[in-house]
Amino acid sequence: MTRLTVLSRANPTTRASNTRASIDSMRSRLARDVARVALAASLTILAPEGARGTPGQRPEPLVNTVDGCTVRALDAFADVRAKFSLEVSTGAMPEAVLTLTGCDYGGAALRGKILSGAAADGTNFEGADMSETEMSRTSARDSNLRNVDLRSANAYEARFDGSDLRGANFENALLSNASFGRGANGTWANLDGANFEGALVSSSDARKLCENPTLDVEGQIAVGGC
């Protein structure tokens, strides 16, 4: 007895739908790849010779000082500094660094500004509104940040070593891996009166903060772990 095997055929509508979905997916991947290539090309053009790195080495940072100590200077490479932290941290892309060392931003309205990757050692920010700023990987060592408003700021891996942070407001700020240790001359970051209510810190971050002798009782209670 001969058996007949019937091969089912997919519905034409289903096949068309699957084909369209596949094409859309390919287009989406292609668009992402094009965007990455374009960004990498623009950074390569901007980077000075010798700053593009060699295989196995992290690329040298891009530096921008064209606009000097102005609020406008904070917008240089802002998108790159804000959105490509992962690529930067793995060494796949160069860091876009702002050189703000010695600048005076005292009392400035900097809310929501992008300070990520800024080299701001020895800079004056006293009394500035820096709430909701993106300042991951910012170096603000030996700086004046007295009475600065840093509420809801992203200060991931920021360096505040040796800085004057008396009265600074870190309420609800992200402070993971941020450092508040000794500056170049061995002086601790001054945290007297600083507000850490609701600040995001890990247990290890809290322990390091508690090592700072200037952290007052209220600050110790807020960060915990002391």
Per the model's pLDDT, the better-predicted residue between 138 and 225 turns out to be: 138
Distance, CA of 115 to CA of 86 (rounded, Å): 16
Domain count of the fold of the chain: 2
Residue 40 lies in a domain: yes
Same domain, 153 and 176: yes
Strands (E), the chain: 62-64, 96-99, 118-119
Same domain, 189 and 119: yes
Same domain, 118 and 74: yes
Two tokens at 175?
């402070």
CATH number of the domain where residue 162 is located: 2.160.20.80
Mean pLDDT of the chain, nearest integer: 76
User: What pLDDT band is residue 51 in, cutting at 50, 70 and 90?
Assistant: very low
Which string of DSSP letters, residue by residue, matches 33-52? Answer: HHHHHHHHHHHHHHSPTT-S
Report the run of H or E that residue 166 belongs to, with start and end: none
Side-by-side strand order, sheet with 62-64: 62-64, 96-99, 118-119
Residues in contact with 111: Cβ distance below 8 Å, sequence separation at least 6, in sequence order: 129, 130, 131, 132, 133
CB 142 within 8 A of CB 121: yes
Residue 1 lies in a domain: no
Give 161-217 pLDDT, tens digit per residue: 999 999 999 999 999 999 999 999 999 999 999 999 999 999 999 999 999 999 999
Same domain, 41 and 105: no
Residue 92 lies in a domain: yes
Same domain, 92 and 40: no
User: What pLDDT band is residue 127 in, cutting at 50, 70 and 90?
Assistant: very high
Same domain, 100 and 40: no
Residue 7 lies in a domain: no
Global pTM value: 0.68
Same domain, 226 and 126: yes
Same domain, 138 and 27: no
CB 149 within 8 A of CB 171: no
Structural domain that includes position 113: 56-226
Two tokens at 58?
């992290």
User: What pLDDT band is residue 116 in, cutting at 50, 70 and 90?
Assistant: confident
Residue 149 lies in a domain: yes
Residue 5 lies in a domain: no
Same domain, 31 and 70: no
176 φ, ψ (degrees, to nearest 5):
-60, 130
Residue 4 lies in a domain: no
Same domain, 118 and 35: no
Same domain, 84 and 131: yes
Q: How far is CA 185 from CA 123, 126, 207, in A?
A: 16, 20, 23
Residues in contact with 11: Cβ distance below 8 Å, sequence separation at least 6, in sequence order: none
Res 13 pLDDT > 70: no
Average pLDDT on 63-75 reads 69
Residue 51 lies in a domain: no
Which pairs with CB-CB distance under 8 Å and at least 24 residues apart come from 174-181?
A: 174/199, 174/200, 175/199, 175/200, 175/201, 175/205, 176/200, 176/201, 176/202, 176/205, 177/205, 178/205, 179/208, 180/208, 180/209, 180/212, 181/208, 181/211, 181/212
Same domain, 27 and 105: no
Question: How far out from the chain centre does Cα 224 lie?
Answer: 25
